[in-house]
């Protein structure tokens, strides 16, 4: 016979609900700290023992709880955050369901002590597994202290799934960091096993916020942080994104906040990923701390029991807004100084080199005469580097190096990347600017310039094409020929006019003008091979960008290609006017800056 339907007792209901809200000790800590923040606390003290499995204490200086409401606070769905259904559409507090405290009290031994400005004395309430003891007077300043002992003591099935003390504390520490990264008006102190591990004072100024970022995410993140701030209508996005060269193996430095609430949202994650797609090395993850402030009526925070997820009423608008804002911030960055870690490595390396015996046979002193060609003339010479024979390149002794006056004695504007002085092993360009020496990877830099030009060209209605006087026929495999036929529209959107010819041949009638001086046969063979290998897992829009990237990579100036000084200077000017020119399409850096001070360190000058 079927069992009789019965109403569950309250303590069992609370334990079932606790399974959704309280997953581990860090869940307890999160709920308690959020209650403190909602109570307008400016100081939060956290004391943890054995990773939170034995004890979690949270003490704040917030508004407190009146003694007459202490027992009510441990009742299910009792809250001061909302009063009616309409309030759910305008939630600004972190908590609102009234589930956290009763859920915690049903699976742990809890001591709740609180005092308010109106009360003459504090009161304490002890509860064990949901069974309350009589209320007692206590000594406590304004605010609330909650002491949670022996989590899951009455649900051993849940307790056995907890991990080691180190793992559980790691989760608790991450909770504190997430809250500290958004609540700059609150000071935090974290102790574990009687040892203070983290002290974060209130961060009122921008410099104080950067110091808090440094304590939580490290100095290297702050050194690579790019400030983001944009406001349009009722949407504001601000925070910091790390430069692409500060990428991570894991997505562990990604912090997203919506209206001060830490979330994990696929819309925002995907938008940021797309913003980084042209500058991030394959397999790496971006690092960022982003805050999205939006009208509470435009977002549903009641989508997950633990409030980790939200739903936007206009997902597409949020996605495009985040992607464009982050992409613009990354595109505005032009500087790429060598970072302190690499500088230290370089200093140690050079200091270990054996002394060079003898003297250099010759040395070069740059003439003071400046180059007379204009930038436009540089570009004209640079437009066809692949057709210039190697014997036309100037030897190093004949390169006319512009004289760069000191900034204090001249009003002349020096280009950011300066002027080329030499080419090293056909790979790197050496340039002199106002700050010192600039090293440029010419292939990576040219690849970025060509890629951005191709993207701009492909987005316009009229694309510049170069008709071939004699169509080029390529013999390819049958699968490659089918691929070209299937993706013909994509090739046409880039400025190519090509068709399948028979079972295993392709005929090319026109190409993008920017690639008119490349080896068309080799270029198309390389690109078709790349597409055939990767296209099966690429979406249409990503495929379009991958195709552009592949053309740019294979159509750029190659290593061991000698450039004369005018071609090198034209490339430097193109880099200065190109977005995201710090990285190539694969995320590798295109140039670094060595200041005079950096060079002095290498040669131990001034010591």
Positive or negative CA dihedral for 454, 458, 463, 467? positive
- What region, left, alpha or beta, does residue 497 occupy, with left being phi > 0 and alpha being psi -120 to 50 degrees? beta
- DSSP assignment string, 379-403: HHHHT-GGGS-GGGSPPGGG--PPP
| 78, 158: one domain | yes
User: Parallel, antiparallel, or unpaired for β 131-132 and 122-128?
Assistant: antiparallel
Q: Distance of alpha carbon 590 from its chain centroid, rounded?
A: 19
Indicate which CATH number applies to the domain containing 488.
3.30.1370.100
Q: Are residues 196 and 227 in the same domain?
A: no
In a domain, 232, yes or no: yes
- pLDDT for 354 equals 41
Q: Specify whether the CB–CB gap between 587 and 399 falls below 8 A.
A: no
Asked if the structure places residue 526 within a domain, the reply is yes
Domain that holds residue 427: 335-350+372-607
Asked if residue 77 is part of any domain, the answer here is: yes
pLDDT at 90: 75
> What per-residue confidence (pLDDT) applies to 349?
45
Q: How many distinct structural domains can be found in the chain?
A: 3
Q: Residue 359 falls within a domain, yes or no?
A: no
Going 444 to 445 to 446 to 452, the CA torsion angle's sign is: positive
Position 410 scores a pLDDT of 47
User: Looking at the structure, do residues 248 and 135 belong to the same domain, yes or no?
Assistant: no
User: Cβ(190)–Cβ(179) under 8 Å?
Assistant: no
- pTM beyond 0.75: no
- Of 390, 397, 400, the closest CA to residue 566 belongs to 400
Residue ending a domain, among 200, 228, 250, is 200
- Which CATH number does the domain housing residue 274 bear? 3.30.230.10
Same domain, 69 and 100: yes
CATH of residue 76: 3.30.565.10
Give the integer Cα–Cα distance in Å for 475 and 192: 69
d(CA 420, CA 398) in angstroms, rounded, equals 12
Residues (pLDDT < 70) of the chain are 1-2, 14, 17-20, 85, 304-307, 333-412, 458-463, 494, 514-518, 530-547, 555, 607
- Domain identity same for 254 and 147: no
| 131 plus 227 within the same structural domain | no
Q: Are 79 and 95 in contact (CB under 8 A)?
A: yes
Q: Give the three-state DSSP class for 354.
A: coil
Residue 355 falls inside a structural domain: no
Q: Is residue 212 part of a domain?
A: no
User: 360 in a domain, yes or no?
Assistant: no
Identify the pLDDT of residue 38.
Answer: 93
Residue 574 sits at the vertex; the CA angle it makes with 571 and 575, to the nearest 5 degrees, is 90
170 and 225, same domain (yes or no): no
User: Do 177 and 266 fall within a single domain?
Assistant: no
In sequence order, the 6+-apart residues with CB closer than 8 A to the CB of 320 are 271
Instruction: For residues 313 and 274, state if they share a domain.
Output: yes
Q: What's the pLDDT score for residue 375? A: 44
Note whether 66 and 185 are same-domain residues: yes
Q: Are residues 407 and 324 in the same domain?
A: no
Q: Are residues 315 and 399 in the same domain?
A: no
Note whether residue 2 is domain-resident.
Answer: no
Neighbouring residues of 150: CB distance < 8 A, sequence distance ≥ 6:
54, 55, 108, 109
């Amino acid at each position: 016979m079927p069992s009789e339907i019965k109403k569950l007792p309250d303590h069992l209901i609370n334990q079932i609900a606790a399974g959704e809200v309280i997953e581990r000790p860090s869940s307890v800590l999160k709920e308690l700290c959020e209650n403190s923040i909602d109570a307008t606390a400016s100081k939060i003290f956290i004391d943890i023992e054995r990773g939170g499995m034995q004890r979690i204490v949270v003490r704040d200086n917030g508004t407190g709880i009146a003694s007459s409401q202490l027992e009510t606070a441990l009742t299910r769905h009792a809250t001061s955050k909302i009063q009616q259904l309409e309030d759910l559409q305008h939630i600004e507090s972190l908590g609102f369901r009234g589930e956290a405290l009763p859920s915690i009290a049903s699976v742990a031994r809890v001591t709740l002590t609180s005092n308010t400005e109106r009360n003459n004395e504090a009161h304490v309430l002890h509860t064990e597994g949901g069974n309350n003891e009589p209320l007692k007077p206590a000594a406590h300043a304004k605010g609330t202290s909650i002491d949670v002992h022996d989590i899951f003591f009455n649900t051993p099935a849940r307790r056995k799934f907890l991990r080691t003390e180190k793992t559980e504390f790691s989760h608790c520490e991450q909770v504190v960091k997430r809250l500290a990264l958004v609540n700059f008006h609150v000071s935090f102190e974290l102790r574990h096993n009687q040892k203070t591990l983290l002290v974060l004072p209130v961060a009122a100024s921008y410099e104080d916020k950067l110091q808090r970022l440094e304590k939580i995410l490290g100095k290297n993140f702050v050194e690579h942080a790019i400030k983001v701030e944009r406001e349009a209508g009722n949407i504001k996005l601000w925070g910091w994104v790390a430069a692409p060269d500060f990428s991570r193996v894991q997505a562990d430095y990604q912090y997203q906040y919506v209206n001060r609430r830490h979330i994990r949202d696929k819309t925002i994650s995907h938008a940021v990923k797309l913003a980084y797609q042209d500058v991030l090395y394959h397999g790496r993850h971006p690092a960022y701390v982003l805050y999205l402030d939006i009208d509470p009526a435009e977002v549903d925070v009641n989508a997950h029991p633990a409030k980790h997820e939200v739903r936007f009423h206009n997902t597409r608008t949020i996605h495009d807004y985040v992607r464009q804002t982050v992409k613009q911030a990354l595109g505005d960055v032009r500087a790429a100084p060598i970072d302190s870690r690499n500088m230290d490595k370089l200093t140690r390396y050079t200091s270990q080199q054996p002394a060079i015996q003898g003297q250099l046979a010759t040395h070069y002193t740059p003439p003071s005469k400046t180059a007379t060609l204009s930038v436009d003339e540089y570009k004209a010479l640079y437009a066809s580097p692949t057709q210039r024979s190697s014997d036309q390149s100037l030897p190093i002794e004949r390169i006319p190096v512009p004289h760069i006056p000191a900034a204090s004695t001249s009003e002349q504007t020096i280009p950011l990347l300066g002027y080329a002085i030499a080419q090293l092993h056909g790979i790197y360009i050496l340039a002199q600017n106002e700050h010192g020496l600039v090293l440029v990877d010419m292939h990576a830099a040219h690849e970025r310039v060509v890629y951005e030009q191709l993207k701009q060209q492909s987005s316009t209605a009229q694309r510049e094409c170069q008709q071939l006087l004699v169509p080029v026929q390529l013999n390819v495999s049958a699968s490659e020929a089918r691929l070209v036929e299937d993706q013909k529209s994509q090739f046409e959107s880039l400025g190519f006019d090509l068709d399948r010819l028979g079972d295993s041949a392709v005929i090319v009638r026109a190409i993008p003008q920017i690639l008119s001086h490349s080896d068309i046969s080799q270029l198309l063979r390389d690109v078709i091979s790349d597409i055939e290998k990767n296209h099966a897992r690429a979406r249409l829009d990503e495929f379009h960008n991958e195709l552009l990237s592949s053309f740019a990579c294979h159509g750029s100036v190659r290593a061991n290609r000698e450039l004369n000084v005018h071609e090198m200077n034209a490339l430097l000017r193109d880099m200065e006017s190109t977005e995201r020119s710090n990285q190539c399409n694969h995320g590798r850096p295109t140039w670094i800056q060595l200041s005079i001070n950096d060079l002095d360190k290498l040669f131990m000058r001034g010591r």
